[in-house]
């Protein structure tokens, strides 16, 4: 009996976000994914290192923007094959996740329609990497087995209003389930209901599908954008690529994969959509704000009460604070739940409770044309 051929796997890492809620450390040319928020490595370096056992370096694709690309190339130079540097595509404008992953799909479809593509955000923490890779192999095999879409779902640990959810339906194989539908970010009451129900998972933003499956889905649900992406892909590897990308990509619809493909496809019902969920518990965290980073550092046992990055510090009756001023002496007296981040040219002062609003500072600075501060 002939052995089943192992599918060719291509990790596609999305790294174009600005990470505005991590201002003032996250900037246009050095955003959140380039910061060492979990270890000595940056977030994107951790992401690549985590995936390298699953695919050769030359199979990696990075979708980013012109502001970030030079620093991403620099950070990944020692990790990835030189071929991968050619596959670090800078979007001329941001058009959300559907066109970004779609462009890679159309390019790879011309080479191997059966190739399996994995979509991975560049700025997530995964602590249980072996289990993650085991689940990933399950998903790759399922994505290669037909016109299937696989979403990696994260078992919720709390009622969370900041994430989208996947509602799992009937069992498929092992722990894999069919997907009933995708749910938007809920209010707290609904999030508590999701947690109690037991069949709702956080949408991790990680998806698996064959190049053929994704190309067909784009042609069905985003036909105008699919035509543009196919024209761009036809010039890959030629001198016309950069110019064609610059001219046509801005005309693509600004839509996420969730809105563009997953939600309309799930309308076919769990038996007809061929969308599957792999529920997982990997110690996952998307570190969406300074508050999330504070909670992550506390949970890791690196700090008991306050999270302080400084040359040295003194605290008195100070509790639950995030204080960042490397190279300086920090003294905190009688404060609680405060976030202070010193980047040298800017100083952020807020509270843990209000840290989700930090992105509004960047919007203000953009409006004021304070380009040196963003």
User: CATH fold of 9-285, please?
Assistant: Spore Coat Polysaccharide Biosynthesis Protein SpsA; Chain A (3.90.550)
Q: Which of 290, 293, 286 is nearest to 126 (CA)?
A: 286
What is the reported pLDDT for 6? 83
> How distant is the alpha carbon of residue 110 from its chain centre?
26
| pLDDT tops 70 at residue 2 | no
Q: How far is CA 312 from CA 168, 294, 331, in A?
A: 49, 19, 9
State residue 239 phi and psi, 5-degree precision: -70, -15
How confident is the model over 105-124, as a mean pLDDT? 97
What is the reported pLDDT for 302? 74
Tens-place pLDDT, residues 12-21: 999 999 999 9
Residue 309 is encoded by which pair of tokens? 């990055």
Note whether 290 and 352 are within 8 A (CB).
yes
What is the reported pLDDT for 80? 87
State residue 303 phi and psi, 5-degree precision: -140, 145
What is the reported pLDDT for 1? 40
| Greater model confidence, 82 or 52 | 52
Q: How far is CA 285 from CA 134, 288, 372, in A?
A: 18, 8, 30
Tens-place pLDDT, residues 218-258: 999 999 999 999 999 999 999 999 999 999 999 999 999 99
The two most distant CA atoms of the chain are separated, in Å, by 72
**DSSP assignment of 168-218:** EEEEEETTEEEEEEEEPPPPHHHHHHHHHHS-EEEEEEEEEEEHHHHHHHH
Note whether 122 and 281 are within 8 A (CB).
no
Residue 211 is encoded by which pair of tokens? 């190049």
What is the reported pLDDT for 339? 98
What is the reported pLDDT for 4? 58
What is the reported pLDDT for 304? 85
How confident is the model over 117-125, as a mean pLDDT? 96
Note whether 202 and 300 are within 8 A (CB).
no
Kindly report the pTM of this predicted structure. 0.93
Q: How many CB atoms lie within 10 A of CB 51?
A: 21
- Determine the 3-state secondary structure of 337 from DSSP: coil
What is the reported pLDDT for 169? 94
Residue 264: is it exposed, middle or buried by C-beta count within 10 angstroms (0-12/13-18/19+)? middle
Domain ranges of the chain: 9-285, 290-373
Tens-place pLDDT, residues 197-210: 999 999 999 999 99
User: Angle at the Cα of 61 (from 119 to 163), degrees rounded to 5?
Assistant: 25
Q: Which residue matches tokens 């329609």?
A: 113
């Amino acid at each position: 009996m002939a052995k089943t051929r192992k599918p060719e796997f291509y990790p596609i890492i999305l790294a174009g976000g600005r990470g505005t809620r991590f201002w003032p450390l996250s900037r246009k040319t050095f955003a959140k994914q380039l910061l060492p928020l979990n270890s000595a490595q940056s977030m994107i370096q951790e992401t690549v290192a985590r995936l390298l056992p699953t695919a050769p370096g030359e199979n990696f694709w990075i979708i980013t923007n012109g502001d970030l690309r030079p620093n991403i190339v620099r950070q990944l130079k020692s990790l990835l094959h030189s071929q991968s540097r050619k596959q670090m595509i800078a979007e001329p404008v941001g058009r959300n996740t559907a066109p970004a992953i779609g462009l890679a799909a159309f390019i790879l479809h011309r080479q191997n329609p059966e190739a399996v593509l994995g979509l991975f955000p560049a700025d997530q923490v995964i602590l249980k990497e072996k289990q993650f890779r085991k689940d990933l192999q399950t998903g790759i095999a399922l994505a290669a087995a037909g016109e299937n879409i696989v979403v990696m779902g994260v078992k919720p640990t709390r009622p969370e209003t900041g994430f989208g959810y996947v509602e799992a339906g009937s069992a498929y194989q092992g722990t894999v389930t069919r997907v009933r539908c995708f749910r938007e970010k809920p209010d707290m009451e609904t999030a508590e209901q999701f947690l109690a129900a037991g069949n709702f998972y956080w949408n991790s933003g990680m998806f698996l599908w064959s190049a053929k499956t994704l190309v067909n889905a784009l042609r069905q649900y985003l036909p105008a954008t699919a035509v543009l992406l196919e024209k761009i892909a036809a010039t890959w590897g030629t001198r016309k690529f950069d110019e064609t990308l610059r001219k046509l990509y801005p005309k693509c619809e600004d839509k996420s994969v969730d809105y563009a493909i997953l939600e309309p496809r799930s309308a076919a019902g769990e038996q007809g959509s061929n969308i599957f969920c792999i529920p997982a518990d990997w110690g996952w965290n998307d570190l969406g704000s300074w508050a999330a980073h504070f909670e992550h550092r506390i949970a890791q046992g690196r700090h008991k009460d306050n999270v302080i990055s400084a040359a040295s510090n003194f605290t008195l009756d100070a509790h639950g604070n995030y204080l960042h001023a490397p190279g300086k002496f920090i003294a905190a007296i009688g404060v609680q739940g405060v976030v202070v981040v010193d980047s040298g040219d800017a100083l952020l002062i807020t509270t843990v409770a209000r840290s989700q609003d930090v992105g509004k500072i960047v919007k203000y600075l953009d409006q004021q044309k304070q380009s040196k501060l963003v």
